[in-house]
Amino acid sequence: MGVRDRILTLFRLFLLFTVLIAVALISAVTTIRFTIHGHQETMPNLVGQSLEAGQRVANGLGLEIKIEGRVFNPQYPVNSIVSQVPGTGTRIKVGQHVHVLVSLGQPQLKVPDVVGASARAAQITAIQEGLTVGDVAAIHWPDSQVDQVVAQEPSASTTEVHSPALNVLVSLGSAPQFYECPDFVGRSLAEVRGILQKHGFKIGSTTLIPTTGTPVGNIVSQSPQPGSKIESDVEFNFQVAGPPLAAVPQPPAQPDRTSPAPSSASARRAP
């Protein structure tokens, strides 16, 4: 095979490879477009239908009903669909959820007054009146006890109830008071102890630190740090100056045993 024939063969192989790549790309793009836009249905109007009928319609289109809640609504009978998402006429993919609210019919209950009761008592009262406890939020509320209901929705005077859930706001008690921590360093522990006890603060540990230059019994360091924000239930811990460590006595000097002892003759000649 000549050089020209080899070049033509290589060119044909390259052209065939290019065509195959192009076909594969076109096929992939077509598949993606079909996946994205294919298998879609037009959302029918389910509002006003019974939940059972709406589920049959949705299942026939490959959709699934998901109940997001139940509300009182005198316009629609009990167990009828009040609203839907997506809305009527929307293009929706097969397999997706249709979110609906279901009617509880005409409200026939009395909303109790639970303000002032505990959260537990409010829950029991709501159940006895045919309600459920919905959202429970907590907040610091002045002049109230912890776990006391300070507000509710709907209120006890409400005549139009849209949901069987009773939402309550529960107190965390009065908001804590913050103070700026004073600087007690250098002051007598006995004096500081009296000041703190007078104002209702707690004293935790006190540690003696051997110190020189500071009077014994004076505060060397403190926790929390001076200038920091503290609450009324904070506990103070102090390090207090103690007596310095006693000096360790040094042993007497020992004679040098490395030098030779004088001979007895030399000792006798000594004056």
CATH number for position 163: 3.30.10.20
Show which of 53, 75, 103 is a domain's final residue. Answer: 103
> Any idea what the Cα angle at residue 243 is, between residues 240 and 245, rounded to 5°?
120
pLDDT on residue 109? 74
Domain that holds residue 98: 40-103
State the amino acid at position 119 in one-letter form: A
**Confidence grade of residue 267 (pLDDT, cut at 50, 70, 90):** very low
In a domain, 269, yes or no: no
In a domain, 131, yes or no: yes
* Residue 90 shares a structural domain with residue 46: yes
107-114: long-range pairs with CB below 8 Å, 24+: 107/72, 107/74, 107/160, 107/161, 109/161, 109/164, 111/154, 111/155, 111/156, 111/157, 111/158, 111/161, 111/166, 112/156, 112/166, 113/152, 113/156, 114/149, 114/152, 114/156, 114/166, 114/168
* Residue 52 shares a structural domain with residue 76: yes
**Confidence grade of residue 137 (pLDDT, cut at 50, 70, 90):** very high
In a domain, 1, yes or no: no
* Residue 166 shares a structural domain with residue 182: no
Q: State the total domains in the chain.
A: 3
Tell me the per-residue pLDDT of 170-191, one tens digit each, with 9 for 90 and over. 999 888 888 899 999 999 999 9
In a domain, 55, yes or no: yes
In a domain, 3, yes or no: no
In a domain, 256, yes or no: no
* Residue 210 shares a structural domain with residue 158: no
**The pLDDT of residue 2 is above 70:** no
* Residue 148 shares a structural domain with residue 98: no
**The pLDDT of residue 153 is above 70:** yes
Tell me the per-residue pLDDT of 38-50, one tens digit each, with 9 for 90 and over. 578 889 999 999 9
pLDDT on residue 174? 83
Show which of 72, 103, 134 is a domain's final residue. Answer: 103
- How much is the mean pLDDT over the chain? 82
In a domain, 263, yes or no: no
pLDDT on residue 265? 46
In a domain, 186, yes or no: yes
Tell me the per-residue pLDDT of 215-243, one tens digit each, with 9 for 90 and over. 999 999 999 999 999 988 899 999 999 98
* Residue 214 shares a structural domain with residue 231: yes
Tell me the per-residue pLDDT of 98-118, one tens digit each, with 9 for 90 and over. 999 998 887 777 888 999 999
> What is the arithmetic mean of pLDDT over 84-90?
90
Q: Which has more pLDDT, 9 or 144?
A: 144
